[in-house]
Amino acid sequence: MNESRFNPLALVRGFLRPIDPALMLVLAVLLGYAHVLMQSASPERLDAQVTHIGIALAGMWVLAWLKPQRLLSFAVPLYLLGVLLLIAVELFGEVSKGAQRWLDLGVARIQPSELMKIAMPLMLAWFFQVREGQTRFVDFLVSGVLLVVPVGLILIQPDLGTSLLVAASGLYVIYFAGLSWKLIIPLVLVAIIGLGSIVAFGDTLCQPEVDWQVLREYQKQRVCTLLDPTRDPLGKGFHIIQSTIAIGSGGVMGKGWMDGTQTHLAFLPERHTDFIFAVLAEEFGLVGALVLLATYVVLLLRGFHIAANAPTHASRLLAGAITMIFFTYAFVNMGMVSGILPVVGVPLPFISYGGTALVTLCLGIGILMSIQRSRFADKN
């Protein structure tokens, strides 16, 4: 009589089955980078960040096990829950630092806008899957309404950074679904003209008596500070000035790990969150920054490869949008830290301290792994 024996190797293989090795390797490099930088920028937060990583990896693993169609079945209830929670924030949310973004549920304090970073692309991917093969102009209008509702609710909190990320996650799906360039080009031209006007007439537009109407006063100040940080070097321009000093002083090879003066003399604000890229550039120089950029490029290439080979229309849209979300996080963060974009509070993906963003990003990795796994499951 044969007795079944415990096989630890088979157990490990079963546990790792949904994990995509390439994505996991890139994620390990990024989290390793984060650990090294956190030891320099804010060592007292290391234990908390390790806890965040554990929770994020657990969430990633769970989503990697689920089939894409199963994930899409959660799209509508997750989207509706997110919108209802955003409305609840507007009615009952807690105010902190002049913004009403948090909702106290008694047992936990949550930020519902983070949920929409995943719910939005899921919802639109599901919508375009339902309309596959018969997409009309009206469908793009409906998808635009689905996008504008949560983005508008996040904007009035106000939270410009998160609203931009949620808007981007939805716009990527809409674009990949086949939005005509005839509709995109006019919007791009309007944006170019608007930005050009702000740059050309910045001195006049940034006067205190000028009301920008569509933007709040603090948002106007962020744009004006970008145009000329020396306008208020010890106030609104302090972040950008100190960050660019840190990046420039690192040179090619950097000052050395834990030897960054801007970081350790506390000149660099928010050095463990939004401005951690400046810590990297100061201590590891151009070489360290290029290695990080190369790692992000590998992540994007892997994501696009998964999207291009995804088995269904919805999974292609979802994988493409999630990959572009990673790009948006990295581009906006490095842009604002280096002084080419306004400061909007977007973390450096997988590097900045913080549990909510890390969990959201790792859930995105989990969705990519789910789509990649389904590709081979469908062949077997």
State the average pLDDT over residues 183-195: 80
Confidence of residue 15 (pLDDT cuts 50, 70, 90): low
Query: For the chain, how are helix, strand and coil distributed in percent, rounded to 5?
Result: 70, 5, 25
- Look at residues 316, 289, 293 and name the one whose alpha carbon lies nearest to residue 371: 316
Tokens standing for residue 216: 């709040």
Whose tokens are 């996040």? That residue is 154
Position 10 pLDDT exceeds 70: no
pTM over 0.85? The answer is yes
- 3 found inside a domain: no
Domain that holds residue 175: 45-379
- Element spanning 116, H or E: helix 112-130
- 309 found inside a domain: yes
| Percent of the chain with pLDDT strictly greater than 70 | 91
- 340 found inside a domain: yes
- Nearby residues of 149 by Cβ (< 8 Å), 6 or more positions away: 83
Average pLDDT across the chain, whole number: 84
pLDDT score of 261:
80
The DSSP letter of residue 93 is P
- 32 found inside a domain: no
CA distances in angstroms from 119 to 16, 59, 112, 115, 340, listed in the order given: 26, 15, 11, 6, 30
Q: What is the pLDDT of residues 270-326, one digit of tens each?
A: 888 888 899 999 999 999 999 999 999 999 999 999 999 988 888 999 999 999 999
Assign 214 to helix, strand or coil. Answer: coil
Tokens standing for residue 173: 């799906």
Assign 68 to helix, strand or coil. Answer: helix
State the average pLDDT over residues 181-198: 79
Helices (H), 17-111: 21-41, 46-65, 68-73, 75-92
pLDDT score of 222:
75
Position 378 pLDDT exceeds 70: no
Whose tokens are 């674009």? That residue is 175
- Element spanning 369, H or E: helix 355-379
Q: How many domains does the chain divide into? A: 1
- 281 found inside a domain: yes
For residues 164 and 172, the answer to whether their CB atoms sit within 8 Å is no
Query: Any idea which of 24-33, 97-106, 285-294 has the lowest mean pLDDT?
Result: 97-106
Query: Any idea which of 35-39, 196-200, 315-319 has the lowest mean pLDDT?
Result: 196-200
Whose tokens are 């000093």? That residue is 245
- 37 found inside a domain: no
Q: What is the pLDDT of residues 143-163, one digit of tens each?
A: 999 999 999 999 888 788 888
- 228 found inside a domain: yes
- 40 found inside a domain: no
